[in-house]
Amino acid sequence: MRNVPRRAGHGTPADSGTRASGTADRAATHRRAADAARDGPALRRAAAEFIRLHHDEARRGDPAPRIAGVFAEIDGTGTYRHTHDELVFGARLAWRNAARCIGRLYWRSLHVLDRRELTAAGDIAAASAEHLRQAVRGGRRIRPLITVFAPDAPGRPGPRIWNEQLIRYAGYESPDGRIVGDPRNAGITAFARGLGWPGGPGTPFDVLPLVVQGTGDDRPRWFWLPPDAVLEVPIEHPDHAWWAGLGLRWHAVPALACMCLEIGGVCYPAAPFNGWYMGTEIGARNLADSDRYDLLPRVARGLGLDTASDRSLWKDRALVELNRAVLHSFDRAGITMTDHHTESRRFLAHVGREESKGRTVGADWSWIVPPLSGSTTPVFHRTYDTVERHPAYVHHPEALARTRGESGRALV
């Protein structure tokens, strides 16, 4: 399920450790703006809007008493605490509102783990590993899951997970500029090494440690991910025995970790969530993009294709076979994965279901249309309303900088 509101490798800035001061400046600017947006009247408006929405859709009756209680809490503390039901409702609606996500048909099935009591880095890391275990049921079936940690509060920022996803592969940069592993993660790999991580065996698929910053910590810490929390799939081809020699694999749970869950004006900066993969995320982006694993030339050589001219369509043919291999491998392993044709039809079913309830579905066409054979899918042949709604999963600029290993002194 493509429940991640981003495309792997899409619009990725160059990984560099030389822009830390600029990142800190941008983070400070964003922090001031975000704090201002959550202060006083703006927070009261956002909270009241969310409470009304919750009471309306959940048929909970008159929202006025709850709004009055929330306002009193804001007046006394500068923020307010969601009930468990509000947290679950908000997390699910944030998925329903994700304009870049094609897999929203399943938004009601999101399971929410409320871990707001956790603020220490070690506890966050342990609970994140447990998230990965609980996301996989029966050793194979993947379920949509979010773990919500402590929110930001006035003068007390919540914890942060620096990794883009809970599972990512290291990118080791050599002195000549070549990278072993995933170039997207070269910056965070170097940053983790600077924190003391010794590195892995040096393969193209070494699992990165978790880099976590707890509430009140000046610097993040790194933590190994236990092997039993990392489910991986060897990528082989149904027709070509030589494919196994490529040594490919990919992790099974796409748990996005760097986005803020914003509900009613409250920001939960550490809230890792996952669905299941759509095959093209791995086969058409992670393994194929020229600034990622760049496997199309190797696949084309193995297939004996003429790569002298683009007019031979060797890239297209290699891309299809790479995607066939990904789908075949996940199916053979019995691990949940969808394909772009099926998910496109399901997305339009979601659109129809929402419109029947009087709700317009916001969607970004450039992200909804799959990166492989887009015009053969029904989502290609229509336009969408691009409006963004709240609750929402939001990329804050300083969080994106952290995923690249760019460190300023500021926590947020």
Q: Is 228 exposed, middle or buried (0-12, 13-18, 19+ CB in 10 A)?
A: exposed
- What is the distance in angstroms between the CA of the first residue and the CA of the last residue of the chain? 30
104 catalytic per annotation: yes
224 catalytic per annotation: no
Residue 12, strand partner residues: none
Host H or E run for residue 300: helix 296-303
- Contacts of 44-48 spanning 24+ positions with Cβ under 8 A: 44/70, 44/71, 44/74, 45/265, 46/264, 46/265, 46/390, 47/71, 47/74, 47/80, 47/264, 47/265, 47/266
Q: Which residues contact 40 (CB under 8 A, 6 or more apart)?
A: none
HEC per residue, 115-173: CCCCCCHHHHHHHHHHHHHHHEECCCEECCEEEECCCCECCECCCEECCCECCCECEEE
Of 162, 276, 314, 367, catalytic:
276
Of 262, 281, 321, 406, catalytic:
281
Of 6, 7, 104, 160, catalytic:
104
173 catalytic per annotation: no
Of 44, 92, 101, 115, catalytic:
101
Catalytic positions are 101, 104, 276, 281
